[in-house]
Structure formats: structure tokens, C-alpha cells
Amino acid sequence: MMVLQQPLKSFFTFLSHNRTMNQLAKKWGLKLGASQVVAGTTIEEAIARVNDLNQKGLFCTLDHLGEFVNSRQEAIEATDYCIRTLEQIAQTGVNCNLSLKLTQLGLGIDDRFCLENMQRIMKTASSLDIFVRIDMEDYSHCQQTLDILAELRKTYSNIGTVIQAYLYRAEEDVQALAGVPLRLVKGAYKESANVAMQQKKDIDENFFSLIKLHLSSGAYTAIATHDHRIIERVKKYTKENKIPCSQFEFQMLYGFRVNLQEELVKEGYQMRVYVPFGIDWFGYFMRRLAERPQNVAFALRGFFSK
């Protein structure tokens, strides 16, 4: 498996960027085991999964998947879908936030246009009292994302973003964003050694340092990891420093480490599940397979159990 790990990662990463495969996958429905990690293709299906998770004491955040947005019309349609998702969350009363990516809303087309789309979304989210999280994408979009966040924070407090611990700039960004609700992650994109740490042990240590830094500022902190070692360190640190469970939450992806998610809830911790949905599932699914070779076996089990 170790010999195959890098070729497999490269193969699935390549597929995640393949537009032809992405278009074909839209016609397949949730195949290849994708239903294990994608909650459905429609808002209604996703809300039903969220309701099931809520019944188990799990909070959620919905993400309408989208890839390769290159036109203003596509970005406007994605914006409209985010607004519809917010309205469905409010109408059904599920315990759920919204996560989104700025490239889906036109960041690669024009920054001002993307900001206008975000302002439409935030106007609805604010009126419905729903929190919105801007997902962080690759390094080339990092500063653009933080600039748009800063502009939106002038008007709206119910918005935050994500900081990736493998970036050298991460500590400075966390310090600058003291008081802003952040999701802290290790980082999943393939980045140059010029901008990002490459060794797992260095990333892990910086990740935990950022968690402590943001918690110490008193800000609400979402700790997104499936790494049980990091989770145990966070539990120990927060207990020793009398940081209440109401100030932070753990986050994991839909379909992964389900038993651990439920165990954390039983222990009294806040646990939020990142729930992706939509017909544009292929790129997301390929990236999950690329992250860990074990995910391939996990997906195949789901595929052959149907």
C-alpha cells in the first residue's frame, strides 16, 4: 500500500480536475460509492440527512458542491442555490450552517462580482440568523478570500472562514482574525514548499499551536480533523485551561469516523458534520479518495453493498 499510495493520490487528484469526467458524473447519480460521503443530489435529500444527524445530537453545515465555474451566469445560479439552501434550512428548522466556496460564486471572474454575490447571500443569512462559512481554497485564492471576508465583516458578524495550518502565513492570519469564528484545518491542497510546510509532523504541531492561539483569544473555534491524536490533545488542553465546550466544536466530514463523531457528542462536546450535496459531486469525491488510500476501500465497500 505504501508503494501505491503516491501514484493513487496523483491519479485521483488528476481525476478531480478532469472536466469531462466531471460532466459525465453528473449523469450517473451518486455512483462509485459516492453516496457514502455525499448526502444526496438535491436540497431535500441533504436536509433529510441533516435531520437524521441532528437526531443523534450532531450539528451540521451544508455545502452545495460546484466545480469549474467560468461564467457569470453559472456564478449567479450558484448564488441563487446558496440562498435557496439557506431558506430551506430556516423553513425546516434543522440545526445547520452554510459552507461555500468563493470560486463557485465568481472569484475567478471578478472580485467585485463575487463580493456582490456574497452580499446577496449574507443579506438572506443575516435575516434568517444562519452562520455562513467561507471555505478556504488553494493558496492562489487565500488573500482574495480574506479580503472579501474583511469587507463582509464590516456589515455582518455571522460569517467566518477557514485557516489552513500547513501555510507559513497561518499564524499571522489567525492573529489578525482574533475574534472571528474560524475553522482550523491542516490543509488538503498540494502547495509549494515556498508557501506551505511539507512534513506531517510540522503541520500537526502548527495545527495544534493555532488551535491554542485562537482559543486563547476567546474566539469561537471549529477544530476540523479526523485525527484522534489531535482531538485528545484538544480535550486535555481545554480541560486544563478551563475552556468551556461552548467556545469550540469539533468538525468532521459526512460519512467519515461516524463512531467517533457520536462518541464526542456523548462526552458532551459539540460536533458538527460537513455535509456536501449536489450533482457536481465527482471532484469532491475524487479528492477524498486522494487524501488517504484507505478511503478507496471504504468507498468500494459502499459501492458493492448497494
Q: What angle do CA 297, 136, 89 make, to 5 degrees?
A: 80
Q: How many CB atoms lie within 10 A of CB 195?
A: 14
Distance separating alpha carbons of residues 243 and 229, to the nearest angstrom: 19
| Closest to 301 in 3D by CA, of 263, 255, 252, 253 | 255
Residues in the chain: 306
For the annotated catalytic residues, the residue numbers are 135, 183
CA neighbor of 290 nearest in space, from 18, 36, 12, 1: 12
| pTM of this structure | 0.88
Contact 177, 168 (CB under 8 A): no
Query: Do the Cβ atoms of 188 and 287 come closer than 8 Å?
Result: yes
Set out the domains of the chain in order of their start, with CATH numbers: 1-38+281-306 (no CATH), 44-279 (3.20.20.220)
Distance separating alpha carbons of residues 173 and 197, to the nearest angstrom? 16
Cell 448526502 found at = 39
pLDDT in tens, the chain (306 residues): 333 456 656 655 555 555 655 555 555 555 556 778 899 999 999 999 999 999 999 999 999 998 778 899 999 999 999 999 999 999 999 999 999 999 999 999 999 999 999 999 999 999 999 999 999 999 999 999 999 999 999 999 999 999 999 999 999 999 999 999 999 999 988 899 999 999 999 999 999 999 999 999 999 999 999 999 999 999 999 999 999 999 999 999 999 999 999 999 999 999 999 999 998 877 777 767 766 655 555 554 443 334
| Helix (H), strand (E) at residue 253 | strand 248-253
